[in-house]
């Protein structure tokens, strides 16, 4: 997602912000910070008779010592449970993405999955895989461990969720960078005209998502990991800047991109703290 050259530039920018800024970027934010970012989306396709849906999102965990050990992941999971979401989704990139010089140890897949095992929500816990999960050849083990933990993995699949007397569709894509995604095939599995939520690791698919999808949820970008006031997110290529972070609306379509929890390439976050995203989907008159 972020190249070495880009992050060298970012490191220079962070260093130029002074000692306090550097301490925040290289230690406090990546290793200790956690915020809850709330998004409220009023959508005309959400039935007026249906209660608002609260979705808890964790993405880009990148489990690794010392930045994101299993103990910290377990604490984050408890924090999300305390928010009482109706549905919890995990949006990929669970494994380490740091070189040896920036880590003290790899967190084994069973350890970080065990830390997530305590997640619970009335409609369940669902997940997709990210590019790093494939690049580290851990995808098959993650599939196995998720199944054992009761975390439902969606790979180019759509399923109905019953909530009271209504129904919601939840769909998840395979990874786009690995060319494992099948958006048309996934959409064909959605029956009826009930609200549909799409999970995707990378937000780049949004340009192809039809209005039939009520809400797309994505991660991958880390929000650039560094945000420079009056400059923006230097690590995000200009062509992807619009889809880097937050609630994006295009032609009546909605997507939320979370900056996630972990780090890749370099253990740096500046003004982009690790986050739990909480999205509330509610009705709005057309």
pLDDT at 284: 86
Q: Identify the CATH number of the domain in which residue 29 sits.
A: 3.60.21.10
| pTM as predicted | 0.90
Sequence-distant (≥ 6) Cβ neighbours of residue 280 within 8 angstroms: 38, 39, 40, 41, 52, 53, 54, 55
The number of folded domains in the chain is: 1
Domain that holds residue 27: 4-283
91 half-sphere exposure, CB direction, 13 A CA radius: 31
Question: Cα(first)–Cα(last) distance of the chain, in Å?
Answer: 37
For the chain, what percent of residues have pLDDT higher than 90?
81
Q: Is the pLDDT score of 1 beyond 60? A: no
Average pLDDT over residues 111-136: 98
Q: Tell me the C-alpha distance between 234 and 7, whole Å.
A: 9
Q: Across the chain, what does the average pLDDT equal?
A: 91
Torsion of CA 128, 133, 134, 138, to 10 degrees: -110
Closest CA to 174 of 185, 165, 160: 185
Identify the residue with better confidence: 72 or 22. Answer: 72
Q: What is the pLDDT of residues 16-45, one digit of tens each?
A: 544 434 445 555 665 568 999 999 999 999
Q: Is the pLDDT score of 172 beyond 90? A: yes
């Amino acid at each position: 997602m972020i190249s070495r050259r880009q992050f060298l530039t970012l490191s220079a920018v962070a260093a130029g912000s002074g000692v306090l800024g550097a301490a925040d970027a290289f230690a406090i934010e990546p290793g200790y910070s956690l915020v809850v970012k709330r998004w409220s989306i009023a959508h005309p396709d959400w039935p007026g008779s249906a209660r608002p849906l609260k979705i808890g999102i964790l993405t880009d965990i990148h489990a690794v010592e010392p930045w994101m050990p299993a103990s910290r992941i377990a604490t984050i999971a408890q924090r999300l449970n305390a928010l009482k979401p109706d549905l919890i989704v995990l949006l990929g990139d669970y494994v380490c993405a740091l070189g040896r010089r920036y880590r003290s140890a790899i967190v084994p897949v069973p350890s970080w999955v065990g830390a997530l095992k305590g997640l619970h929500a009335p409609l369940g816990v669902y997940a997709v895989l990210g590019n790093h999960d494939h690049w580290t050849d851990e995808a098959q083990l993650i599939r196995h461990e998720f199944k054992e933990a009761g975390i439902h993995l969606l790979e180019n699949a759509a399923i109905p969720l019953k909530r009271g007397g209504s129904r919601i569709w939840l769909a998840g894509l395979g990874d786009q960078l690995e060319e494992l995604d099948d958006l048309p095939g996934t959409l064909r599995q959605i029956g009826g005209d009930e609200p549909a939520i799409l999970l995707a690791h990378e937000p780049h698919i949004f340009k192809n998502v039809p209005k039939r999808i009520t809400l797309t949820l994505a991660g991958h970008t880390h929000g650039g990991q560094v945000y420079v006031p009056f400059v923006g997110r230097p690590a995000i290529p200009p062509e992807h800047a619009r889809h880097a972070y937050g609630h994006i609306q295009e032609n009546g379509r909605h997507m939320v991109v979370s900056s996630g929890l972990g780090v890749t390439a370099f253990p740096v976050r500046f003004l982009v703290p690790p986050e739990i995203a909480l999205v509330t989907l509610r009705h709005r008159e057309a």
